[in-house]
Each structure stands twice: as C-alpha cells, then as structure tokens.
Amino acid sequence: MTFKENGFEVVRNIISNQLLEHLRLEFNMIKDISYFRNNSNNPYYFGDSQSPKSFSVYGPRFFECLSIQLKDKMSEIVGFDLHPTYTYARIYYKGAILKPHTDRPSCEYSTTICISSTDIWNFYIKDKNGKENIVKLNPGDMCVYSGCELEHWRKPFEGTEQMQCFLHYVNQNGKYKSHKYDKRRMMGIPEIIGESSKSKKINYN
C-alpha cells in the first residue's frame, strides 16, 4: 500500500536498533525525572484526555530532532516539501486506548513510530475510500498518514507498555503552511497552542 493510493504508508525499520535504544533510554529518563519532580507514584499522572492511561509529553527535544532528520523522507513519501510542526510522545500502559479521531491542522502529514513495546498493538486507520485497515508496527517501523483526513484509533492495549512517538508536518506551500513549528518560533521550545490543555507541563531540562 502506498501513500498516494491510500493516504497512508508503512515503512519498516526506519530507525536502527542502536538509535531505538538511545531514544528509549532518554524517554524513560524524562518519565522518571517527571514523576520524581512531581512526587507522584500515579502512572497516569501525565496522561492526556485522548489517552489517559499513558505518560504523554509535547515536543521532547530528541524527538524534535528526529522529526527534522526524517523531514526529507517524509516529503518523499507524501510528494510535497514539508515543514516540521511539532512532536508528541506517549508511553502507553495496560488498558490504554486511543479514541477514534482526526487531527488538527498542524498534523496535515504525520507519522507514528514504535520505539519499544512488550506486545504488538494494532493501529487502526480508515483509508481514502473509508476502508478500515489494521497496521502492525514493530519497534523501528513507522506509519505515515494524512492526519487531518483519515480517522485513526487503537483498541484497549493488552500488553504491559508501549512507547510511541508522533512526528507532524505541513505542506510548505499548502493551506496549513502557517502552522510551521506549530506556530512556535522554532522546534524544541514549549508549545503555544494545542496540547497545553491536554497534558501537564513537563520540564525535561
């Protein structure tokens, strides 16, 4: 299945095992420091409204860097020159769901990347023709999709833990071009719009 035909495309092994291990370690460090600073033992303390049983964070810098690194590959897949907008990441826990939804303008073109997982967790997406598809991602795989157009979701997670990052982009010359960097001055700084109402602020310096 290609992006041009279906509005989504799966790319296998986009990230090396060595880089996956680095991303996993760094994201877990952010999680542990965040719980420590907030003196919380509640694993869902940093969940958001879309997936409460998770640790969720806007724009961690190592994923912001990954977004810039993958920009040319993303542009090649979707057929347009892209601007990165923002990144988001979650560690999902047992029972987590992702409610059916489409995305806001900053997510015109998106990819979800599996960083680590105790179990395969199906990603559901409706293609351009409205057909429901099941995508299975192993660590290092990504699914590129039209986030504003295609409804996507996940059913309750039956495993123990899955780490996932989301990289978002817009067409440099498209109707959402003003959402470059999610209307921030640059990548890597705190959010201005969108996710602040969903998740608690995390200082990861």
Asked if 7 and 149 count as a contact pair (C-beta separation under 8 A), the reply is yes
Give the residue extent of every domain in the chain: 3-184
pLDDT at 204 over 50: no
pLDDT over 70 percentage in the chain? 93
Select 3-184's CATH number: 3.10.20.740, 3.40.50.2300, 2.60.120.620, 3.20.20.30: 2.60.120.620
Residues 6+ apart with CB under 8 A from 13: 140, 141
Kindly give the residue spans of alpha helices, DSSP state H, lying in 14-149. Answer: 17-37, 61-69, 71-78
Half-sphere exposure of 181 (CA within 13 A, CB side): 10
Please tell me the total number of residues recorded for the chain in this structure: 205
Its pTM stands at 0.91
By mean pLDDT, which of 17-31, 69-83, 190-204 is the weakest?
190-204
**What is residue 202's predicted lDDT score, i.e. its pLDDT?**
52
pLDDT at 193 over 90: no
